[in-house]
Amino acid sequence: MNYLDIIIPFVGGLGMFIYGMQIMAQGLENAAGSKMKSLLEVLTKNKLMGVLLGAGITAVIQSSSATTVMVVGFVNASIMNLTQAMGVIMGANIGTTVTGWLVSSVEWAEFLSPARLAPIAVMAGVILMLVGKRRSSKEIASIIVGFGLLFIGITTMSSAVEPLQNSESFTSLFVTLGKNPLLGILAGTLVTAIIQSSSASVGILQSLAAAGLVPFSAAIYIIMGQNIGTCVTAILSSLGAKRTAKTAALMHLLFNIIGTIIFSTLAIIYFQVFEPVWANGLITQTEISVVHTAFNICTTVLLFPVSDWIIKLAKKIGRVEEAEQDESQVQLDERVLQTPGLALQSTVNEVARMGQIVEDSLMTAKNVLFTLKESDIKFLKEEEATVDRLSAGITNYAIKLGALQISEKEHQDIAHLLQIISDMERISDYCENISEFAETLYEKKTSFSEIGTEQIREMMEVCADSYRYALKAFVDKDRAMALKVIEKETQADNLELSLRSKHIKRLANNQCQAEAGVVYLDTLVCLERISDHARNIAEEVLEQNA
């Protein structure tokens, strides 16, 4: 037997299968686009919602490894805590079984026969790709082409290994794997770890099953090993991340190892005591899908009640305690860029967090000119430095996101975000300027007149309201609130002109100190510009949600 004639087409079929799976997943992900953004909101819910979220995302991107890598990224960015991460990880194990069902459908849905359907799907997808003008058409074309390539790949692999039916050494290898659970689990783990895709690993197993080579017991142990091997990608991804992110990857590994230990023990007892004949019988592609799905669902149901214990064990092994989020650091992670829709939503969340820091600065700036507290002056300078770091970090992340294959609407959303980030950063700068004015008043041992203090307070209230409304409009996508910002900004413009005129008259009549008078005018300028930038934010919200 010429093994080269088997290996070459098998490897080629595997490559086609993986490539088809990837472009189909990319097309599905792009098509889901904006809908996937809202999934992040579920992360604040309970663990059961996390399971559903993990299953849903993994079913779309068809890779539990990719989902877990995203979870590591979310934990590293402090967007998600370990309890939420546990739920998503459990769901990811269930969602990854979708590809196996697609492959096995050739057995229970005759019309999906690869020989009949795959070439038609590829041709139809290519035609749609060539003639389609809209981006959505090209995404649908990617899904269809990927679907066709996936089936052609699995057919090529199955055909390549058919001659091995007559190879006594190869068939005895699978018999050995079936009789030795540890070897079967190890084989599944190593293959999956090498190709870093449990879906592709299951596809290989199904192609061997289609050729009539895999005993039932061997398949079960290999499937369990595949669930362990799929953890390798997340573990590699966590290298260099925070300890909590490493703990998230460790939770995934522990969850799958515990599930494997439990169900391998049950399988060993069942095959050796009750059904030794069935253990040696050949498994079909559909039965592999059933076993894969049942194993992951049962593991999740069984371990869900004790998942908090798994989290504690992972934290103990990783020697980590979840610390409070360091708000001075950008809470974004490049791992999440693997799913642009979710990355965009996490960017929006981070801009909103930065906006809240700016609002805190503005609230402090409202009083610092009157209290002249050194602690407030120091706070405003520290917060401005924090906002500068956040602005630079979020901007860089958004630019990387914009370079990915995303929809035109998502490109526009990023453009709006970049402008809003710039306006928020400028408002923070003006808050720092006000702290510097407070320093001047403190050093010169001077202050505003009583009427001047009253007028500045009035102007500050109007401008603070303007920004507060703008931030709320951005977070809630509220057009009505954005329109209120424009009203406030007009009020601030008129008030600035009126107060400036009155102040100049007071200066001419020697009713206030000259040094305090200069600070008064500079403060009016800063406040009016704060309201201008608040209006800019509101206009971006109106345009984005037109």
Residue 198 to residue 227: CA distance in whole angstroms: 7
pLDDT score of 114 more than 70? no
Report the C-alpha gap between 106 and 114 in whole angstroms.
7
Segment 498-521 mean pLDDT: 80
Q: Minimum mean pLDDT among 72-86, 257-271, 280-294: which range?
A: 72-86
User: For residue 336, which of 283, 398, 422 has the smallest C-alpha distance?
Assistant: 398
Longest dimension (CA), the chain: 109
First to last CA, the chain: 68
- What does the pLDDT read at residue 545? 81
417-439 burial, b if ≥16 CB within 10 A, otherwise e? bbbbbebbbbbbbbbbbbbebbe
pTM over 0.75: no
- Average pLDDT of span 145-157: 78
Mean pLDDT of the chain: 83
Residues of the chain with CATH 1.20.58.220: 340-544
Which of 17-26, 40-49, 452-461 reaches the highest mean pLDDT? 452-461
pLDDT band at 414 (very low <50, low <70, confident <90, very high): very high
* CA separation for the pair 171, 21 (Å, rounded): 29
**In the predicted structure, residue 172 carries a pLDDT above the cut 80:** no
pLDDT of 275 reads 75
Q: What is the Cα–Cα distance from 533 to 463, expressed in whole angstroms?
A: 10
Place of tokens 């018999």: 175
* Whether residue 329 has pLDDT greater than 60: yes
Q: How confident is the model at residue 324 (pLDDT cuts 50, 70, 90)?
A: very low
CA-wise closest residue to 64 among 96, 39, 36: 96
Higher-pLDDT residue of 70 and 218 is 218
- CB-based contact 334:340 (threshold 8 Å): no
With 50 as the cut, is the pLDDT of residue 427 above it? yes
**Architecture in CATH of 340-544:** Up-down Bundle (1.20)
481: alpha, beta or left? (left if phi > 0; alpha if psi -120 to 50)? alpha
Least confident of 156-165, 247-256, 344-353: 156-165
- Phi, psi dihedrals of residue 215, rounded to the nearest 5°: -70, 155
